[in-house]
Structures are given as structure tokens and as C-alpha cells.
Amino acid sequence: MGGLRLLAVALTCCWWPPGSQGKTLRGSFSSAAARDAHGQSIGHFEFHGDHALLCVRINDIAVAIGKEAKLYLFQAQEWLKLQESGHGYSCSEKLSKAQLTIAMNQTEHNLTVSQIPYPQTWHVFYADKYTCKEDNENSQVEDIPFEMMLLNPDAEGNPFDHFSAGESGLHEFFFLLVLVYFVIACIYAQSLWQAIKKGGPMHVVLKVLTTALLLQAGSAFANYIHFSSYSKDGIGVPFMGSLAEFFDIASQIQMLYLLLSLCMGWTIVRMKKSQSRPLQWDSTPASTGIAVFIVITQSILLLWEQLEDTSPHSHHSHHNLAGILLIVLRICLALSLGCGLYQIITVERSTLKREFYITFAKGCILWFLCHPGLACISIIFNDYQRDKVNYSIISKWSSARSPLQAMQRVVERTNVS
């Protein structure tokens, strides 16, 4: 198991996501990039309400005026129609269809995006007089550094909210989630510590479940720190967002390995000669290979999904090929592990282990099927609502419910005995 843990750490460390790019954007308006792509993509944001605001600041006014620099805002649906249209619009024709345009002739521009009946995603592009020219005239013109803030109205109607429509409420959600984990820790910490010190046949299981819960709590806390900072500056702490994903993936891998251990014929015992190896093999090398293969497969799919997902606060949305494969893998594992645990329960003589298996079997089915279920349900919602569904407390709580229930059962029986 130590080898698989190292594998999980190595795979996760190899993946260093760009983090939350935030809605305070800093960079440079580039004529070369705009010409190559027929418009430099700056970012996108889900505006809502009547007083949403786009604020952009530049320093080099002379260069911007000389290049006739402009920002073009497209509604996501209209931009998608342009991309999929078979009319073959030219570069200038596409830019002319922008819903909003800003001429960059001042140091600071404030554009109010109002009268939005429902939350909509807007794409922001930069272009200048060189964008639609075929030749390379003045291709080495100077870039224009900028800072852009994309803001939604807060509860009082003032444009101070850095969260897009799909991200609103995440700060409060993770605060409540951290509070829940804190309350759980206060309730179970003492009895859990006593059970671990006491030892027993389920001693190692307690350690594994505790580690999984600590990883989940660490993920929630890291997300809370990130969103707390994000709510103030629109950037957050990208490292903490990456750390939260690291903890979440590590927890999933650890729980998956434990489930495979229970169903592939391993026995949970306490052996004097190998105290450091919690899960002892009682099966063939073939089952070892199967368990290792499944764990590696899920690790790769999780990393693949995160690398392909470019949204700043995505959390296993399962809307790309890797996400679909993860759904299929989870459903297959839920069915196979459920059957395996049922067979173990019917032949297990130990009352403590049997009750543990029953509790854990119920939780693991929920744990495996909750994310796919929410991903399927989220399809019927609008784009700005899908992340909230996937981020919902049902999704996060299901990740902790399985180890928490099993741990509670083991702690109670261990302390009583």
C-alpha cells in the first residue's frame, strides 16, 4: 500500500494545474496574438444582475490609440453560433457582431453590463487595426500591459463581487463545510484516539479511514482559504486551490484502495511480524495486479480530467471524455464491489467485521455513485448552475459519509470491547 501511496503522490505532483486564474486578470494586449487568432481571447465571465461591471486599466495610452485598440464582448451563445456557422465570416465581420465594444483611449474604462434577465457567459477579446490585416505590417508593435476586473453586483447591488454566477456562494459553502468537519472532530477526536491507542483487529482500518477524512477536511480547508482570498481580490491563492485538488485526489485513491482491499480477498489482521503493513494479502498475484491497475487507471483519469478542464474552479464536472470514463469506471466498481462485499458479509463470522462491512458497503455505493449521479443530473441545468450542483454539499458529504460511518461503527465497538 505504501507503494501505491507514493504512486498517488507522484502522479498528483506531476500535475500542477494553473490554479484559479481569477477574475482579476493581468497580462498584455498583443497585436501578434490577436492577428494569429483573429482576436486575442482575454477571458470569460458569467455576469448577472443589472449592475455588473468590467473595469480595465492600461498605462500606455499612446500605443493603444495608435493601434486603435478595442475590446469586444460576445455573449457565449452568439459566439458559439459564429464559430459553428457555415457562412464563413471574415475576421472583420466576426468582430462587427460583438454585442459590446470598448475603445481603449483612456487609462481606465468602466463598462456596465446591465439588463441581464438571467446569468450569461460573456467572452472578452482584444483586437486592433492590425488584427484583420493579412500582411505583417508593424508586426513588432509594442504590447499593452493591462489589469482587468470582472465584477458582479453584491447583495446591495454594488459591483464588488468577484465571483461569477456559477461560483457565487462557494465561499459560504466551504465555510460551512469546514465548520461541519470541525464539529465532527470535536465529537469523535477523543474516542478515536482512544481506539487507535487501544489497537485491535480493526486498528489499521481506523488509521486508513482517519487519513481519508483528514484529507477531505484538508481539501475543504484549503478551498476555504483560497475562496476567502478570491472574494477580496479576484485572484485567490492558486497554490491552495491546487493543494485542495491534491488532497481530494489522494483521498479518493486511498478510499478506492481500501475498498479493493476488502473485496479482492485481503484480510484485515494485526500481525506481529509486519505491523507496518496494514492490509495483508490473502490472494493471488493476479488480484494484486487488478487492484493496482484500477487505482492507477482512476489516478490517470482524474489527472486527465483536471488537465483538460480550463474553468478556474472546476471540481470533477465530468463533462469531457475523461469525466465520462470516470463515470463508467465508478458505476462498474460500485456494482462489482457491492457484490464482493455482499459475499464477504454472508461468510464472515466476526460480528465486528460483519457490521463494519455492512456499514461500509452502504457508504461505498453512495460514495461511488454520488458524483456520476450529480454529473448526470447537472446536464438538465444551465451552465452557471452545473458547477454548483457538482459542488453541492451532497457531493462533498458523500465523500466523507462512507469513512465516517465505518469509523464510527469501529470506534464504538472497539471502545466497548
pLDDT in tens, 43-74: 888 888 778 889 999 988 888 898 889 999 99
The pLDDT of residue 351 is 77
Most confident listed range (7-21, 353-367, 386-400)? 353-367
Is the alpha carbon torsion for 155, 160, 166, 168 positive or negative?
A: negative
Q: Where are the beta strands (DSSP E) in 234-277?
A: none
The pLDDT of residue 328 is 82
* Mean pLDDT of the residues in the chain: 75
Q: Which of 17-31, 154-168, 356-370 has the lowest mean pLDDT?
A: 17-31
Q: Which of 229-238, 243-252, 336-345 has the lowest mean pLDDT?
A: 336-345
Find out whether 230 and 20 touch, Cβ atoms under 8 Å: yes
Q: Which three cell numbers stand for residue 288?
A: 494484486
Q: Which of 23-37, 127-141, 223-237, 381-395 has the lowest mean pLDDT?
A: 381-395
Find out whether 130 and 137 touch, Cβ atoms under 8 Å: yes
**What average pLDDT does this structure show over 140-151?**
86
Q: How many CA atoms lie within 13 A of 265 on its CB side?
A: 11
Q: Which three cell numbers stand for residue 322?
A: 475523461
The yes-or-no verdict on residue 126 having pLDDT over 90 is yes
Task: Please count the residues of the chain.
Answer: 417
**Distance between CA atoms of residues 409 and 276, nearest Å:** 24
What domains appear along the chain, each with residue ranges and CATH number?
2-20+170-416 (1.20.1070), 24-151 (2.60.120)
Q: Which of 213-222, 242-251, 367-376 has the lowest mean pLDDT?
A: 367-376
Q: Which of 29-43, 79-93, 130-144 has the lowest mean pLDDT?
A: 130-144
pTM: 0.74
Give strand pairing partners of 55: 110, 149
Give strand pairing partners of 45: 122
